[in-house]
Amino acid sequence: MIRRVVWIGGCTRRYTTTTTATTGSAAKKETPLTPTQFESIQEMLRVDQAGELAADAIYRGQLFALKETSPMKPLIQHMWDQEKHHRVILDTLCANNRVRPSVLSPVWYGMGFALGAGTALLGEKAAMMCTEVVEEVIGVHYNDQIRELVKIPDNESAQTLAQVIKVLRDEELEHRTHALQHDAKQAPLYDPLSFIIRTGCQGAIWVASRF
């Protein structure tokens, strides 16, 4: 479970940072981030918030489109519940740190829902293929961020954020494992569809970090 709330800078842009434990212990001063590090972390939070919003929409779309009797529904509901929790974490981090959401948030939500519903309409294996590919891309993306954050070892907020992202990363990779265990690779048109979804996700990450 996430035990700490990261507070990074805020709107004053003075680049002073504090980390506050949810247990209520006193906030503690730490080595300031450089302006570049501050901007980089804001960008990370923006793209991650957009990604978790889209993930929420994907699983909502899958549940919407799958037949009521589908045996995949409990698993997808479980993964959706975890994505909703991820979204709350990112929304809180962004609000605490005055990070503006991606201006394309409604687009990410709509595209996520369409992707989830569209693949689920092709069948359960296609829904699992969607999950496998999306979660793999997100796992790589989170690993890239963790590598960047561990380069700032003397800043407790950066390190706490790295720990938060590790928890999210582990759950995304669990989702990928679930998908592989439920025949994702046997989906119809696996190669072209997975290529399109992977490329689309990578492009969306690039756009959401900037806009």
Residue 182 binds Fe ion (CB under 5 A): no
DSSP category for residue 66: S
- Which DSSP string do the residues of 123-189 spell out, in sequence order? -HHHHHHHHHHHHHHHHHHHHHHHHHHTT-TT-HHHHHHHHHHHHHHHHHHHHHHHHHHTTGGGSTT
Structure-block tokens of residue 35: 């302006």
33/134 with CB nearer Fe ion = 134
* Beta bridge pairs of residue 18: 7, 29
Tokens 């561990």 -> residue: 150
Among positions 140-179, residues that touch Fe ion (CB under 5 A) are: 172, 175
Q: Give 125 or 169: the residue with its C-beta nearer to Fe ion.
A: 169
Query: x-or-dash pattern for Fe ion, window 31-70, by CB under 5 A?
Result: ---------------------x--x---------------
175 is in an annotated binding site: yes
Smallest distance from Fe ion to CB 85, Å:
8
The HSE-up count of residue 31 (CA atoms within 13 Å, CB side) is: 9
CA-nearest of 161, 143, 42 to 102 is: 42
CB of 174 to Fe ion, least distance (A): 8
Exactly one of 46, 86, 141, 178 binds Fe ion (CB under 5 A); that residue is 86
Closest distance to Fe ion from the beta carbon of 60 (Å) = 13
Q: Which residues are annotated as a binding site for Fe cation?
A: 52, 83, 86, 135, 172, 175
Residues that bind Fe ion (CB under 5 A): 52, 55, 83, 86, 172, 175
